[in-house]
Structure 1
Amino acid sequence: MVPGEPGPSWNPIIDLQLLWSFPFMVNAFRAGTIVAVLAGLIGWFMVLRRQSFAGHTVAVAGFPGAAGATLLGVAPVFGYFGFCLAAAAVIAALPRGRDAGYREESAVTGTVNAFALACGYLFIALYKGFLGGVNALLFGNFLGITDDDVLALLAVAVVALAVLAAVGRPLLFASVDPDVAAARGVPVRALSVVFLMLLGAAVAEASQITGTLLVFALLVMPAATAQRLTARPVASLALTVLIGIVATWLGLGIAYFSPYPIGFCVTTVAFAGYLLAHAARAGRFGLPRPRLAGGAT
């Protein structure tokens, strides 16, 4: 909570007006909304393709990227995108299959994960000045976003979403049933590479807001919640974006009027939504988990 500011009222409109009276909060809402949309849509495919571990590894790669950029005296954004895209490229280069391919992918992904964390702490140790932003690298910083940062995030999101829109239908087919898709001439391997590069861009963008350790708050939980509630792809995608935006806005509001970190608030709201969705499906009604065509959950 900002010192000297009043607590929340019972009127959400008044509270929003108060929040938006500060330029840094306006930028936080703008950037958070952009990231929620991009991370939600990319994350929906990531959850569907069962590549959450790969997404986590790409997110972790943002930590040494930002730390290394600081060590070199350049903007952390270059490190985020450079290392996240590089990690995505390494994972994309691995062969995929139902047997040894999956084991190899998992082993290499875990190796990249551990090595990225080690490099991050090495870069911090090599930095001779005062590095006060370690917590921001790991857990995010919504409140230091400038107008230029918002424009950069928007540009990346527009490009990434345009590419996703172009490959969305065949990517969905390849994600639900890759064997049938390949038999019908869909370039499954090429789509996998394109998707992982999009994932790297989305993670690099979201990590600047949520931090590398909390990126799943917007990348995984909204998508997992939406897929728990409905099996219809269009409805599930729309619900994912809605949940991500609501979690971001509520998290920002709670953090402003409380002493708790923003990353914790956003993550908690998103996780609470997932628990409620799980309870609604499995608790009261005892309904099975929705399944997309082809048997994917």
Structure 2
Amino acid sequence: MVNAFRAGTIVAVMAATIGWFMVLRRQTFAGHTLSVVGFPGASGATLLGISAGLGYFVFCVGAALVIAALPRAGQHRQSEESALTGTLQAFLLACGYLFVALYKGFLNGVNALLFGSFLGITNSQVTLLFVVAIAALAGLAVIGRPLLFASIDPHFAAARRVPVRLLSVLFLILLGAATAEAAQITGALLVFALLVLPAATAQAITARPAASLPLAVAIALVVTWLGLLTAYYSPYPVGFYVSTFAFGTYCLVRFGRQLLDLTDCRPGGLLEEAG
């Protein structure tokens, strides 16, 4: 359980940080594809008798490179990119189920790959997660400022000679690494929740990067810790609880924003603002 909290903390910090840029850049579909790709990676590695974590990283980073190689220019190119990304997602998901059928292992192992498991995390796995997280966050820190500029206004950034294309490729590689990490806690099908929901919740609260990014990390930590505690006393997978707590937080924030918007639109509120 101690290792579960260590691994969960590492995964939450990395997923929330990189997920914040993913939401800002509107690349959630690419993030969802990478999360699905983690399943055939882990099941293929299990079939070959090697570490499932290695399968996560190889397939997620490899798929990120494929997505990064797709052309991006104009509305037609964006439509083509979405179609190719969806095709890649469907094919690799089918490969994952093929690997499971060939393995003929216990169904409980498949559930762990899909929905996550926090039991049996070793010290070496925690160390590997920590090394990958440090490397990914260090890389993100190097490209963070120009990446933020390119994410907000890519055309103006390109005019200022910012390497927008290179930054996009590097970010997708980091996103693939973050997806591979988080999938080992939440499972391949629910990793997307930890990547997008804390970041989307924080950006719904405030648009200031200096405030919303640390807030996204804090939300990810809280929902991950609560998910681990709840799963410890429950027979259900940890990924379900992490996703549920994250989704509930997002719904509460959106509902609160709606109430605030309605309050600001009242006649009394408008008169006070005018005064």
TM-score (norm 2): 0.93
Aligned to 2:34: 58
In structure 1, what is the Cα distance between the partners aligned to 2:104 and 2:197?
Answer: 38
Q: 1:92 aligns with which of 58, 61, 68?
A: 68
Does the aligned pair in 2 maintain the 1:281–1:287 contact within 8 Å?
Answer: no
Q: Equivalent residue for 1:154?
A: 130
Q: 1:206 to 1:174 in 2, by over 3 A?
A: same
1:200-231: CA deviation from partner (whole Å, max 9, x where unpaired):
00000111111111002210100000000000
Deviates more, 1:79-88 or 1:257-266: 257-266
**Partner of residue 59, structure 2:** 83
RMSD: 1.4
Matches for 1:1-297 after TM superposition, within 5 Å: 25-130=1-106, 132-286=108-262
Structure 1 position 144, deviation (Å)? 2.0
Q: CA deviation at 1:253?
A: 1.5
Q: Measure, in 1, the Cα distance between the counterparts of 2:156 and 2:231.
A: 47
Q: CA separation in 2, counterparts of 1:156 and 1:45?
A: 18
Secondary structure of the 1:213 match is coil
Gaps of 5+ in 1: 1-24, 289-297
Conservation of the 8 A alpha-carbon contact between 1:35 and 1:205: yes
Look up the SS of the partner of 1:220 in the other structure. Answer: helix
Structure 1: how far apart are the matches of 2:52 and 2:62? 15
Shift of 1:250: 1.1
Structure 2 CA distance for aligned equivalents of residues 234 and 104 of structure 1? 35
Indicate the larger mover: 129-138 or 91-100: 129-138
How many residues align structurally? Answer: 264
CA distance in structure 2 between the partners assigned to 1:280 and 1:89 by the alignment: 39
Is 1:65–1:76's contact at 8 Å kept on the other side of the alignment? yes
Distance 1:106 1:87 in 2: 14
Q: Summarize deviations over 1:109-136 as a string: whole Å, max 9, x none.
A: 1001100111001111112454641001
Are the structure 2 counterparts of residues 287 and 54 from structure 1 closer, same or farther at C-alpha, using a change threshold of 3 Å? farther
What's the counterpart of residue 270 of structure 2?
A: none
Q: Which residue of 2 aligns with 1:295?
A: none
Gaps of 5+ in 2: 265-275
1:33–1:129 Cα change, 3 Å: closer
Distance 1:259 1:284 in 2: 39
Is contact 2:202–2:212 with CA below 8 Å preserved after alignment? yes
- Residues 233-264 of structure 1 deviation map (CA, whole Å, 9 limit, x = unaligned): 01110000000000011111222233432111
Whether contact under 8 Å (1:124, 1:131) holds in the other structure is no
Structure 2 match to 1:16: none
CA distance in 1, matches of 2:164, 2:14: 22
Amino acid across the alignment from 2:257: R
Change (3 A) 1:150 1:287: farther
Question: What CA deviation, in whole Å up to 9, does each residue of 1:22-48 have, x standing for no partner?
Answer: xxx111111111000000000000011
Deviates most, 42-51 or 119-128 = 119-128
CA distance in 1, matches of 2:93, 2:162: 36
Give the Å deviation of 1:285: 3.5
Would you tell me which structure has more helix in proportion to its own residues? Answer: 2
Taking only the aligned residue pairs, the percentage that are identical comes to: 68
Please, what TM-score do these two structures have when normalized by structure 1? 0.86
